[in-house]
Amino acid sequence: MSTRRRLSRCLIGVLLLAGTVRAQEAPARLPAYRARVLGVFDANTGEPIEGAQVTDVLSKNSSLTTKTGTVSLVFLPDSGSIVRVQKIGYRAATMLVKISPTDTVPVTMLLNPVATTLPTVVTKDSNTRSLSPGLREMEERRRKGFGHFVTEAELRKNDSKRMTSIVRTLPSVNIACPSKGTRSGECWAVGVRRGCPVDVYINGVISTDNDLQKLAVSEFAGVEYYTGPATIPIEYNKTGSSCGVLLFWLRDR
C-alpha cells in the first residue's frame, strides 16, 4: 500500500473518531439559572452545614451540601419546587424555591439544632408542644371545628397510598383525573360548590403543582380542607373567593 494511501486512510479514521467523540459528548448544557445555589447554615452559630440532604418534595430528587454548606439546585425543575432540608441533629425545614431566568440570587436556609437534653418534667396535658409550628396551628383549628381534618395517626394507616385516596374521603371535594390531553395521568382536587381547582399548600407554602398523585401519604403528618371563604384561615385565602384550600403538613420523621 502506498504512503499516500495509508495517510489518506488514517485521516479518514481520525475524522470518523472525532465525529464519534462529539456524538458521545454530554447532552446540551442547561441554562445557568437552573443551577441556582442554596446555602444551609446553623441558625445559632452561622456556620455552614456540610452533608445536609436537600430534597425536591415532589420528585424526590436530592443532593448533599458541600463543606461550604452550599448545593446546586440543578435537579429542580423549571419554575421551581418545594425543597426539604434535613440533617441529623437539626430540625428539618422546607421552603419554596423558584427556578427561572429572573430568580438567580443564592438562597439561604437556617437550620435549628435539636436540643439533646431531656425535659425534667413531662406532663400529659397536651402533646402539641412536640409538634412543628404548622401542626400546632392545625391542632388549634381542629379544636375550633371549622374545617375537615386528617390526623397523622390516620395517615400512617395509609402510608402505602397516594394522597388522592385520602382527599377522596373528604366532603365537598372531587378528584379530577383526565385520561387525555396534556394533563393525562394527573389528579387534582376540585371544589364541589364551584367546580374549580382547590388551592394546595405544603407546609404553609402555596404549591405550583397540585397533582395529588405525586404526593405520598407517608410524607405527611396532617391534612386540612376548607370548602370556601367563610371557613378558610385568612393567611391561606389569597383572593377571598377561593374554591377551597387543602393544607398538607410534612412529617418531621
pTM above threshold 0.85: no
The set of residues, in sequence order, having a beta carbon less than 8 Å from that of 111 and lying 6+ positions away, is 40, 41, 42, 43, 49, 52, 85, 87, 90, 91, 93
Provide CATH code, domain 128-250.
2.170.130.10
> Pick the residue with more confidence: 93 or 238?
93
- Same CATH topology for 32-111 and 128-250: the answer is no
Residue 51 pLDDT:
93
Residues in the chain: 253
Fold of 32-111: Immunoglobulin-like (2.60.40)
The set of residues, in sequence order, having a beta carbon less than 8 Å from that of 185 and lying 6+ positions away, is 177, 213
Question: Cα separation of 189 and 166, whole Å?
Answer: 11
205, 109, 116, 213: which is closest to 165 by C-alpha?
213
Residue 12 pLDDT:
43
Residue 126 pLDDT:
47
Task: For residue 13, name the pLDDT band (cuts at 50, 70, 90).
Answer: very low
pLDDT in tens, 138-164: 999 998 888 999 999 999 999 999 999
Question: Cα separation of 243 and 193, whole Å?
Answer: 7
Residue 130 pLDDT:
65
pLDDT in tens, 115-129: 655 555 544 444 545
Question: Cα separation of 204 and 134, whole Å?
Answer: 7
Q: Is the pLDDT of residue 53 over 90?
A: yes
Residue 193 pLDDT:
76
Segments making up each domain of the chain, as ranges: 32-111, 128-250
Residue 27 pLDDT:
47
pLDDT in tens, 199-243: 999 998 888 888 999 999 999 999 999 988 888 888 888 766 578
Task: For residue 47, name the pLDDT band (cuts at 50, 70, 90).
Answer: very high
Question: What mean pLDDT, rounded, does the chain reach?
Answer: 82
